[in-house]
Amino acid sequence: MQHQAEAHRRRAEERRRRVEQQQQQAQERRQRYEERQQRIAEQHRLEAERRRRYFESLSPEQQQAYLAQQRALRQRADQAAALFWIWILSNSLSSGGSGSAPSRSPDYYVVPDNRPAPQPAPAPVAPISPFYGDRHW
């Protein structure tokens, strides 16, 4: 009985240590994530400051040209994003919308038949003469 109690206590201690270790690892991951986010935010801030200083160093005409260039770049990026989403949606719709498997082009293609439907043969006509069509030469 004492052996079972000791084994139970050891398993409980191992579980407790494992849980503590997992919590510590999760805390470290959160801390690394927050530090990474702070570095990214600082990089964005420095880039924005650099752009602001550059913009302020331009003449008024150059500032207008710079703004027009930035608008054009933003518009192209927006168009590219829109085309990307259209492509994604059209692919998901053409594959049945399941989204579970990538669409694959079929090994065969069905070509629509645009020829008119066949008409029934005309009714037979009585011969012109009994010798019509025979060779009698």
pLDDT tens-place values along the chain, 137 residues long: 788 888 889 999 999 999 999 999 999 999 999 999 999 999 999 999 999 999 999 999 999 999 999 999 999 999 999 999 999 988 888 766 554 555 566 666 677 777 777 788 878 777 676 666 666 55
Diameter of the chain measured on Cα atoms: 126
Q: Which residue in 113, 112, 110, 91 sits closest to 102, CA to CA?
A: 91
- Decide: 23 and 34 in contact? Cβ < 8 Å: no
- Is the pTM higher than 0.85? no
